[in-house]
Amino acid sequence: MSTTIFNELAKYKVVPVIQIDDIKHAEPLAKALVENGLPVAEVTFRTDAAAEAIKIMRESQPDLLVGAGTVLTRKQADDALAAGALFAVAPGLNPNTVKHCQEIGLPMVSGVNNPSQIEQALELGMNFVKFFPAEASGGIAMVKALLAPYRDIQMMPTGGISPKNVKDYLSIERVVCCGGTWMVPGSLMKEGDWDGLGKLIREAVALVD
């Protein structure tokens, strides 16, 4: 993963993981993130709107650090890069997808939750990984256990992260940021409640500051 992108993610500490179902939400969402102090987003490729949403968010807010989430295939990686994504995230570790991202210059954060996957990541030249699904995979105790023998690994836990546990994860050495959805709920986007969403974003920023 590029040092610049890594430093940015580490600086913000929380990465909003966002599913955009309606393309009209992309621009106001990007504005809400930037104006409320959290100019970073992982837009998941779980909907057909993802690539276009990334493009709109990047164009409307050039300072927004937008990545593509749930990148499972080479084509999705190509689509993400073409849309302007600055990094890609996956729930698991697919060597073929990782190698393709490396070839096209798209920084990739693969998901791991056991020692064998971490060693596979290291073999591929990756030392920044996503721990997923965090809470279901053993949570904080598992993160500590995995980081102990792998001194070069840094993690972004995602999955079950909330205001109740995010600071506990971030207090672990080499956990540099966490992925979360609580500050970008789809319900508020559907309602067009951008003020309410902005409040949640500001609270998330203050919580991890």
Active site residues: 42, 130
Strands 154-157 and 40-44: unpaired
Question: Contacts from 171-178 at CB under 8 Å and sequence distance 24+?
Answer: 172/140, 172/143, 172/144, 172/147, 173/147, 174/147, 175/143, 175/147, 176/6, 176/9, 176/10, 176/13, 176/128, 177/9, 177/10, 177/12, 177/13, 177/14, 177/15, 178/13, 178/14, 178/15, 178/134
How far is the CA of 159 from the CAs of 44, 52, 64, 137, 178, in angstroms? Answer: 13, 25, 23, 9, 9
